[in-house]
Amino acid sequence: MHEEVRKAISLRESGDPAAAESSLSTFLRKNPGDAEAHYQMAWCLDVRGMEREAIPHYRRALEIGLSGDDRSGAFLSLGSSLRAIGEYDEAVKTLRRGASEFPEDRAMEVFLAMALYNVGEHAESVGMLLENLAEAISDARIKSYGKAISFYADKLDEVWE
């Protein structure tokens, strides 16, 4: 990672995303193919409530070839930003792709469940949330019902006689 990008991350983490954005903007003019810089720029814009402006940077970072945890974060944040501006179908598509690449990422699935809710896929949404709840929660009472919750997660519309 380039030193200028590290400095921008420090600025954002210290509570000055506008200064980080300014620094990254200068850096990106000289280095438009830097995936990490695009991701960090998107993050700075996103935390300032500028989702529409962040989206192209998330997309560019993914296109260039962002990897690892940052790639997972970019899919999740891009999907979340798309959902936040009402682009629900695109959010679902993005989050499904992220969940496919990162099947162990529970947060990705939770954000996908929210987007699925927005497109009217209520059963899949609730089922996904229940699966994650049953597998991730530490509450002893819920854990004791984990198998039942998982069993019913994809059978919410079934009637048992």
Domains located in the chain, CATH noted: 1-66 (1.25.40.10), 88-154 (1.25.40.10)
Question: So what's the pLDDT on residue 32?
Answer: 96
Mean pLDDT of the 103-116 span: 92
For residue 126, pLDDT beyond 90:
yes
* The pLDDT value given to residue 73: 94
Query: 21 with 43: CB under 8 angstroms?
Result: no
Inform me whether the pLDDT recorded for 155 exceeds 80.
no
Q: What is the pLDDT of residues 17-30, one digit of tens each?
A: 889 999 999 999 99
Has residue 137 got a pLDDT over 90?
no
Give residue 8's identity as a one-letter amino acid code.
A
Amino acid at 138: S
Give the torsion sign (CA, 65, 71, 75, 77): negative
Calpha distance 91→80 (Å, rounded): 7
Q: Against a cut of 0.75, is the pTM above it?
A: yes
How many other C-beta atoms are found inside a 10 Å radius of the C-beta of residue 9? 18
